[in-house]
């Protein structure tokens, strides 16, 4: 009937619009589909030239614990003072993994993001973030030199963000259920583990690097030098280790509150964690401890970046300056349990030995921590004779690891 025919034509129209619309033409995807870190050309997006009046609001994508407004602990709040000082109301979306952050930033609804190294390059290459004019962020001058101009936040000399802090992924365990206290990642990779069904692991493809790190120490014959630069043979070894680990895993976590709850109730007794989770669990009277195992660990170095199409760029820049100011940076670093990025923050921490404990100025220490990085086909450890496995394969492998 006529109305049916008209309807069908309209459907076709919608499909065509959806098919032809949308912006993908501006992407700077280099031929071959993957860019080398530092060796690709990001889209040309201008950095802001000045910071004007606040727009009244700022939408952030942040790791848990980075934008505390008192709702977790009344005394832990650096958002409300910011709102009072600048008039920018803060809306935070807590993301559990770097992948979530990348996809959230792609929606264009957020103004700033605290990106780890495995997200920052993807955001830059995808044109989702703009270069940051560091002269507009006064506190940038005091950031540790060891964090400036790094491959994951600076491309072709242009700075894309303000370093936030750095830390390592730790091993957490229930002191009453796991004895003796573990000092090696072996406790979560042991196929005959006595804690079968109560082990937890981080729910993201980037966790494959943790398996590679363990193999670096236990199977040196594989020749792994950088857990993010794995050729096919090394990658397969890591994947089969993880498939074996799945048999003892009870739950994978990406929501930090779920991990806290699982450790508190005893459904998880050992696994990967962040210092802030251990702190919160201890605050909940759960008997847990966390440590950096002897094989080293993966970790992160986070950078606050500004969205390319930010709707509140002025408030975003104000937030960037706020979060790396000495007092606030010290608060975040202590709450989260990481090393601050502002050298002056070390005098502001309530625990005077915080910077020492977290190795804030200890550059040799950070050579043992392998920051999250996006694996690409061009091996990140410099090997030219083999192709490394890129992140899309990591993602597919992760689905088959979880079965």
Partner 1 sequence: MNTSLSRGTKIALWVALALGFAVIYAPLLVVLVNSFNADRAFGWPPSRLTGQWWAASWDNAGVRSALWTSVKAGLGATAVAMVLGTMAAFAVQRYRFFGRDTISLLVILPIALPGIVTGIALNNAFRTVLAPFGIELGLFTVVVGHATFCVVVIYNNVLARLRRLGTGVEEASADLGADTFQTFRYVTFPLLRSALLAGGLLAFALSFDEIIVTTFTAGAGVQTLPIWIFNNLFRPNQAPVVNVVAAALIVLSVVPIYLAQRISGDARTI
Partner 2 sequence: MTKAPSLPGGPVRRLAGLLHRRPGLRLSVLLSAPLLWLIVAYLGALAALLLSAFWTTNVFTGDVVKQFNTENFRALLTEEVYRRIALRSIGVAALVTIVDAVIAFPVAFCMAKLASPRAQRWLVIGILTPLWASYLVKAYAWRVMLSGSGLLNWAVEPFGLSGPGYGLTAVVITLAYLWLPYMILPIYAGLERLPNSLLDASADLGASAFRTFRTVIWPVAFPAVVAGSIFTFSLSLGDFISVKIVGGAGQLIGNVVYDNIGAANNLPFAAAVATVPVAVMMIYLVAVRRTGALENL
When asked if residue 282 is in the footprint of partner 1 (CB under 8 A), the reply is: no
Number of residues engaging partner 1 in binding (CB under 8 A): 25
Residue 179 or residue 402: which is nearer to partner 2 going by CB? Answer: 402
By CB under 8 A, which span of 85-93, 100-108, 330-338, 339-347 interacts with partner 2? Answer: 100-108
By CB under 8 A, which span of 146-154, 212-220, 340-348, 392-400 interacts with partner 2? Answer: 392-400
Q: Which partner in partner 1, partner 2, none is near 260 (CB below 5 to 8 A by kind)? A: partner 1
When asked if residue 251 is in the footprint of partner 1 (CB under 8 A), the reply is: no
When asked if residue 221 is in the footprint of partner 2 (CB under 8 A), the reply is: no
Residues 62-91 that bind partner 1 (CB under 8 A): 71-72, 91
In angstroms, the CA 272 to CA 210 distance is 9
Residue 297's region, left for phi above 0, alpha for psi from -120 to 50, else beta, is: beta
When asked if residue 17 is in the footprint of partner 1 (CB under 8 A), the reply is: yes
Q: What is the 3-state secondary structure (H, E, C) of the chain?
A: CHHHHHHHHHHHHHHHHHHHCCCCCCCCCCCCCCCCCCCCCCCCCCCCCCCCCCCCEEEEEECCCCCCECCCCCCCECHHHHHHHHCCEEEEEECCCHHHHHHHHHCCCCCEEEECHHHHHHHHHCCCEECCCHHHCHHHHHECHHHCCCCCCEECCEECCEEEEEEECEEEEECCCCCCCCCCCHHHHCCCCCCCCCEEEECCHHHHHHHHHHHHHHCHHHCCCCCCCCEHHHHHHHHHHHHHHHCCEEEEECCHHHHHHHHHHCCCCEEEECHHHHHHHHHCCCCEEEECCCCCEEEEEEEEEEECCCCCHHHHHHHHHHHCCHHHHHHHHHHHCCEECEHHHHHCCCCCCHHHHCCCCCHHHHHCEEECCCCCCCCCCCCCCCCECCHHHHHHHHHHHHC
When asked if residue 322 is in the footprint of partner 1 (CB under 8 A), the reply is: no
Q: Which partner in partner 1, partner 2, none is near 359 (CB below 5 to 8 A by kind)? A: none
When asked if residue 347 is in the footprint of partner 2 (CB under 8 A), the reply is: no
Residues 168-197 that bind partner 2 (CB under 8 A): 197
When asked if residue 380 is in the footprint of partner 2 (CB under 8 A), the reply is: no
Q: Which of 226, 244, 83 is nearest to 92 (CA)?
A: 83
When asked if residue 235 is in the footprint of partner 2 (CB under 8 A), the reply is: no
When asked if residue 374 is in the footprint of partner 2 (CB under 8 A), the reply is: yes
When asked if residue 180 is in the footprint of partner 1 (CB under 8 A), the reply is: no
When asked if residue 125 is in the footprint of partner 2 (CB under 8 A), the reply is: yes
When asked if residue 252 is in the footprint of partner 2 (CB under 8 A), the reply is: yes
By CB under 8 A, which span of 26-34, 65-73, 221-229, 332-340 interacts with partner 2? Answer: 26-34
Residue 11 or residue 181: which is nearer to partner 2 going by CB? Answer: 11
The distance of closest approach from Cβ of residue 215 to partner 2 in the complex, given in angstroms and rounded to an integer, is 21
| Binding site residues, partner 1, CB under 8 A | 1, 4, 14, 17-18, 21-22, 59, 71-72, 91, 93-94, 107, 109-110, 255, 257-258, 260-261, 264-265, 280, 284
| Binding site residues, partner 2, CB under 8 A | 3, 7-8, 10-11, 13-15, 18-19, 22, 24, 27-29, 33-35, 97, 99-100, 102-103, 106, 121-122, 125-128, 197, 204-205, 246, 249-252, 254, 265-267, 374, 376, 390-392, 395-396, 399-400, 402-403
């Amino acid at each position: 009937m006529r109305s049916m025919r008209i309807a069908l034509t309209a459907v076709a129209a919608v499909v065509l619009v959806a098919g032809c619309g949308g912006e993908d033409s501006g992407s700077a995807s280099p031929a071959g589909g993957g860019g080398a870190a530092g060796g690709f050309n990001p889209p040309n997006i201008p950095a802001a030239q000045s910071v004007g009046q606040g727009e009244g609001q700022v939408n952030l994508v942040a790791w848990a614990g980075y934008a505390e407004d008192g709702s977790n602990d009344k005394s832990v709040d650096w958002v409300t003072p910011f709102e009072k000082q600048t008039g920018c109301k803060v809306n935070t979306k807590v993301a559990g993994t770097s992948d979530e952050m990348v996809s959230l930033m792609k929606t264009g609804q957020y103004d700033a993001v605290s990106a780890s190294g495995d997200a920052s390059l993807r955001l830059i290459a995808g044109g989702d973030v703009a270069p940051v004019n560091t002269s507009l962020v006064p506190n940038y001058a005091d950031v540790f030199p060891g964090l400036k101009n790094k491959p994951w936040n600076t491309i072709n000399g242009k700075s894309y963000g303000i370093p936030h802090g750095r830390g390592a992924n730790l091993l957490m365990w229930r002191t009453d259920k796991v004895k003796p206290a573990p000092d090696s990642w072996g406790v979560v990779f042991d196929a005959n583990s006595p804690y079968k069904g109560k082990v937890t692991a981080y729910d993201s493809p980037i966790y494959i690097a943790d398996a590679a790190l363990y193999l670096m120490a236990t199977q040196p014959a594989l020749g792994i030098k950088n857990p993010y630069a794995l050729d096919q043979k090394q990658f397969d070894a890591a994947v089969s280790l993880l498939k074996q680990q799945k048999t003892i895993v009870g739950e994978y976590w990406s929501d930090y509150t779920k991990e806290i709850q699982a450790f508190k109730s005893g459904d998880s007794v050992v696994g990967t964690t962040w210092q802030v989770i251990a702190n919160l669990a201890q605050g909940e009277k759960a008997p847990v401890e966390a440590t950096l195992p002897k094989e080293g660990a993966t970790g992160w170095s986070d950078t606050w970046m500004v969205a390319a199409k930010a709707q509140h760029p002025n408030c975003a820049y104000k937030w960037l300056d706020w979060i790396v100011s000495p007092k606030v940076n010290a608060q975040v670093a202590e709450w989260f349990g990481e090393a601050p990025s502002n050298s002056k923050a070390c005098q502001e921490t309530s625990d005077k030995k915080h910077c020492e404990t977290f190795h804030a100025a200890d550059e040799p220490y950070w050579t043992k921590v392998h920051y999250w990085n996006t694996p690409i086909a061009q091996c990140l450890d410099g090997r030219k004779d083999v192709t490394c496995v890129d992140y899309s394969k990591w993602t597919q492998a992760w689905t088959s690891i979880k079965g």
